[in-house]
Structures are given as C-alpha cells and as structure tokens.
Structure 1
Amino acid sequence: MIGAALVATPALAAPGGAKGDGDRSLTRAEAQTRAAERFAKMDVNKDGKIDAADRAAKRAEMQAKRFASLDTNGDGSISRAEWDNQNADRAAKRATRVAAGEAREGKRHAMRGPGKRGGQYAMGGRMMRGADGNQAMSLAEFQTAALARFDAADANKDGVVTAEERQAQRAAWRAQRGTTAPKAQ
C-alpha cells in the first residue's frame, strides 16, 4: 500500500497549484479525477492494472525514445560521431545553465533512490502492491490511496486542500523522513 501512497503524491503536490485555472486549491473530486488520469498514463498496456508488465513496457518505450534521440540519421545504429555530438550538446546545455546561475552552488548531486524526486517510486525498483498484496494495483486501489493522501492533507476537513495545507503536509512528510525543506533560490 505504501507504493500507492507514493504514487498519489503528485495529485497534491502539483507545481503551480492543483487546478489549471489559477486557483491553488484542490477539491476531493478533482483529486479523484487526477488520480484516474495518472493511473491511465501509468497503465501502459491498458489492462486495467499497474504491474511489472507496465514497468517493462514503459522502460522499453523510454529506451526506444532515447535511442531515437541518439540515432540522429535514423540508420538504426549509433555512430561515434552521433555519440560525441550528444555529449557535446549535453555539455553545452550544462554550461548554459551554469552561466545562467541555475547550478546548485555547493551541493553535491547525490544518487537518487527510493523516496527521492526522480528516484524509484511505484514504477521504479519498488514493487507496488495492491490492497490484496497481489503485486498489481487496480484503479480503485490507486484512487483509494490518492484520496487517503488528500484526506490527510485536508487539515480542516472542508473537502478542499489549499496551498497552505499542501505546504503543511509536505513539512510533515519531511519531518517524518528527517529531512529539511529545500532552500528557495
């Protein structure tokens, strides 16, 4: 069930607010709809459950996309020149970010792992488990977990999670994990 809780986080921690209309609040119905939309994206093979087959399909899709980006002439192989061009492009982008002041000063970039942004959440190394422990998660289980997180964040129980309630929930999660809030840049 922990995998479900981790997956549901984006419904509450959406950057720029939860709704596209500028309102930074999220209703319970919107959270349920967002969970269904996220589930649909994660259910790569559209079999009504998220499981190892979806992870494998997503991994294959990402590898094919990465290969296509490297194989610039489309000949089905990556030449030394294509590889070198990719490295040069990446170095140029990094230099541009550093020049623009976007680099993290004095911070090491640690390896990402379970529970860290960009790390291994439900579609990564840890296997998601449905409520029945079957190594797969249904839409109903996914939405139940999302709504449980919504209810935990809805401090005043009015059916709406505000930006302030989301911030308070994030602070509580960080405190529970023993981490501190990231510095504002």
Structure 2
Amino acid sequence: MHRLLVAALPLLIATPALAQEISTGQAAPTWQNAQTKADALQRAALIFGQLDRNQDGFITQDELAAFTKTMGDNPRMVGRVTRMFASADANHDGKVSAAEAQAQAAAAFDTVDANHDGILTPEERQAARAAASGTQPAQ
C-alpha cells in the first residue's frame, strides 16, 4: 500500500497543476480546491494524451524522457516520474497504456481519499504528501 502511495502520489498531487501547465503553459492554484475522482481521472487522461506524443495509445520511456527534459530534468521529478511509470506498467511491457494509467490514477485516488467519500480535500493531499515523505502534516 505504501509503495502504491509513494509511486502514485506525484500523479495525484501534480495532475491538476500539470494538466493546466500542459494545456495553457501556466500553473493552476489547485491545492486549495477539492477534487472528485471523476476530475482526477479526467485530468489523468488529459495528461496521458499530452505525454503520448506519437498518439499510439502508450507512453514509452522515450516519451517520458522528452517530458522530463521539458521540465528541466529536475532529478526529483525524473525520479518520481520513473517510479510512477514502473508502478503503472502493470504488465511490465515497458510502456504504459491508457488503461494502465487510469487504473493507477484510480488506485492512487482511492489510497489518498482517507474518508472514502470520493473527494480529495487539500487536507487529504497534504496528509498523503506528508506520509510519502515521512513527515507529519501541518495542523
């Protein structure tokens, strides 16, 4: 369970902002907003479509490398994206299908949704970030 949280947390936390950045080039202030599971899956699909540069229905290591390069090859981002890719690649074929990405996003959402009400609150996101980093959330 903890491995799933650590691997999928970047998707859940970054998905709203990343989707905004990819589509408009500007970051969106999403930390203050609640997010439904439907919203999270829709944003995950949007990001999948943007990362799947050749539109073949799969994200490959090369496509991820191109993405991380556009994000400045930040070592933390590269590590997170690499772990997320490995976790999402359920059949271990070296690529992530849309179905695998959606399953990963759904499982991650369910893990972070502490009260299982179908809505991620800013507090649940903060608690998940703290759990993944091994720190206590701010009260």
Tell whether the structures are fold-level matches, with TM greater than 0.5.
Answer: yes
Q: Residue type matched to 1:11 in 2?
A: T
Matches of 1:152 and 1:13, distance apart in 2: 20
State the 1:41 CA deviation: 0.9
State the 1:7 CA deviation: 5.3
In structure 1, the residue matched to 2:103 is 144
Secondary structure at 1:158 match in 2: coil
Matches of 1:152 and 1:138, distance apart in 2: 21
- From 123, 126, 129, give the equivalent of 1:167: 126
In structure 2, the residue matched to 1:45 is 54
Q: Residue type matched to 2:11 in 1?
A: A
In structure 2, the residue matched to 1:11 is 15
Identify if the C-alpha distance between structure 1 residues 6 and 166 changes in structure 2 by more than 3 Å, giving closer, same or farther.
closer
State the 1:42 CA deviation: 0.7
Please list every run of 5 or more consecutive structure 1 residues that lacks an aligned counterpart in the other structure.
Answer: 63-111
In structure 1, the residue matched to 2:115 is 156
Q: Which structure would you say has the larger Rg?
A: 1
What value does the CA root-mean-square deviation take over the aligned residues?
Answer: 3.4
Please list every run of 5 or more consecutive structure 2 residues that lacks an aligned counterpart in the other structure.
Answer: 19-27
1:16-39 deviations in Å (ceiling 9; x for gaps) = 226xxxx71000000100100010
In structure 2, the residue matched to 1:97 is none
Secondary structure at 1:155 match in 2: coil
Q: Residue type matched to 1:17 in 2?
A: T
State the 1:147 CA deviation: 1.2
Higher share in helix: 2
In structure 1, the residue matched to 2:22 is none
In structure 2, the residue matched to 1:25 is 34
User: TM-score, normalising length from structure 1?
Assistant: 0.53
Q: Residue type matched to 2:51 in 1?
A: M
Does the CA-based 8 Å contact 1:13-1:166 persist in structure 2?
no
Does the CA-based 8 Å contact 2:16-2:43 persist in structure 1?
no
Identify if the C-alpha distance between structure 1 residues 39 and 143 changes in structure 2 by more than 3 Å, giving closer, same or farther.
same
State the 1:4 CA deviation: 6.4
Does the CA-based 8 Å contact 1:8-1:142 persist in structure 2?
no
State the 1:12 CA deviation: 6.7
Matches of 1:30 and 1:174, distance apart in 2: 25
When the two structures are aligned, how many residues end up with a matched partner?
119
In structure 2, the residue matched to 1:131 is 90
